[in-house]
Amino acid sequence: MSEQITKKQHYVPQFYLKRFAETDNFIQYLDIRNMRLGKNPYPAVCYEEYYYAQTTGEQDQISQKYEEYFKLLESRIANEMEETCSIIRDVNRHVTDKERDVISYLMSMIYLRGKYMRSQIQHVMGEVGNKMVEVIKTRREPTEEEKKMYLESDNTLHLLMLKDIHDIRTWFFIKKWKAYISRGQYSFITTDNPVSEIFPQRTSLYGAHICERTHYLAIAPDILIELTKPMGNRKIKRESILPSNERKILGLNLICAKQAEQYVYSKSKGELDAIMSNVTTTH
């Protein structure tokens, strides 16, 4: 029996995207680079062929091992997400460390495996590589092997970082949590970079630690989680957003949309129309 090969490898989990799809399994999207609306089946977004390969697009055993690892992790989280969301919606139920743990793992997994994280790593490595080549040039002309080593980056460092999901999950877990809950018709969006990360003003050479940054993740169309700098007790604050205050949802959606690589996703077209209208009127 031949080993099953997964070619289309998602960097945003399908079970997560499904939560933002319509009943026909289509998900509405806004292409923010081209200001174009449309919709696709949710499994047809947020993937690349052999994304987890050492070189994207080239089949190898590494990509299949990572794909299997994420299937196991996603299965565990997916089985607990519906109950977790139900508890958060019900203000009479206490949100325990178990629910925080489920969301922390989801957030860490999405945060580390995405294209934004990969591009940041490759950008830094590219700068380091260019400096190494310049150093060599002060002595002699670099060889082709040296140019390939320093200038042609692959996914090795990003793949190694994916092993830190448990550690990053801990940093998310200990932060200050707030859950926004939509009680009206207007809903939260997600993107091809679902974990939005806002940096405080830089005060040191190395920048803000992950605990000092603010993070946002919509875990369902009616629930958005905000994580801020740890302080006080670990009780999750909940804020219900009523129909009379739905403009607040638009504000939070705009924060998340600005962090998108290219696509914003929603269960309904209205939220995307509102984002597109606000983006075009501010430029």
**Packing angle between helix 269-281 and helix 247-258, nearest 10 degrees?**
70
| Alpha carbon separation from 69 to 40, 41, 50, 52, 58 (Å, rounded) | 26, 24, 14, 11, 19
Distance of alpha carbon 70 from alpha carbon 76, whole angstroms: 10
Indicate if the alpha-carbon torsion angle 251, 186, 33, 49 is positive or negative.
positive
Q: Is the pLDDT of residue 283 over 50?
A: no
DSSP H or E run through 186: none
Rounded to 5 degrees, φ, ψ at 202 are -70, 130
Tokens of 27: 């998900």
Other CB atoms within 10 A of residue 101 CB: 17
At residue 206, the pLDDT reads: 60
Percentage of residues in the chain having pLDDT higher than 90:
75
Cα 194–chain centre separation: 3
The β-bridge partners of 29 are: 38, 265
Q: Are 171 and 210 in contact (CB under 8 A)?
A: yes
Closest of 127, 124, 190 to residue 157, by C-alpha = 124
At residue 140, the pLDDT reads: 77
Distance of alpha carbon 269 from alpha carbon 283, whole angstroms: 22
Taking only the tens place, the pLDDT of each residue in 103-117 is 999 999 999 999 999
Taking only the tens place, the pLDDT of each residue in 59-113 is 999 999 999 999 999 999 999 999 999 999 999 999 999 999 999 999 999 999 9
Rounded to 5 degrees, φ, ψ at 9 are -110, 120
At residue 27, the pLDDT reads: 98
Cα 35–chain centre separation: 21
Tokens of 282: 């501010």
Tokens of 53: 């390969």
Closest of 115, 109, 55, 81 to residue 263, by C-alpha = 115
Taking only the tens place, the pLDDT of each residue in 43-54 is 999 999 999 999
Cα 113–chain centre separation: 8
At residue 1, the pLDDT reads: 38
At residue 95, the pLDDT reads: 94
